[in-house]
Amino acid sequence: MQLSRFTDYSLRVLFYVATHNDRLCTLAEIANYYDISIEHLRKVVHSLAKSGELETFRGKNGGIRLRPPASEINIGEVIAQTEGINPLINCSAQQCCLTGICSLEQALAEAQLAFMNVLKKYTLADMLRHPKMQQQLISSSH
């Protein structure tokens, strides 16, 4: 299973904003830090604001910040909302001579559930506990 670029960027934005929770962060500084297109980030931030992880402020002194504390943002839930909960394989949508007798679809569904259950054990705060990660996010920012 591979996560989409959108999910990757969503997690990166949350890491950055949570590390700088003492102030508003801008799209430009996050784009510069990660060397990501500001247009991609605009879509990511809009989605995270719509789902409640971020709060956005417009205007000259605007920016973004976490809405709930990092300890209340569940990594598994963020990934579920950015990736969607689609089966890894959808045998019923394909013309396969093994449909109805193949065990692969069920095995993949179990694996996907286990994957998501592990991720749901972690919060954004858990992801930021490593001191070197925090230092990297702080020292390289503007």
For 71-110, the pLDDT digits (tens) are 999 999 999 999 988 888 877 777 888 877 889 988 999 9
pLDDT at 141: 53
Interatomic CA distance for residues 82 and 51, integer angstroms: 10
pLDDT at 98: 85
pLDDT at 140: 62
| Segments in the chain below pLDDT 70 | 140-142
CA 39 from centre of chain? 17
Domain boundaries, the chain: 5-84+124-139
pLDDT at 93: 77
Q: 116: helix, coil or strand?
A: helix
At the topology level, CATH places domain 5-84+124-139 in Arc Repressor Mutant, subunit A (1.10.10)
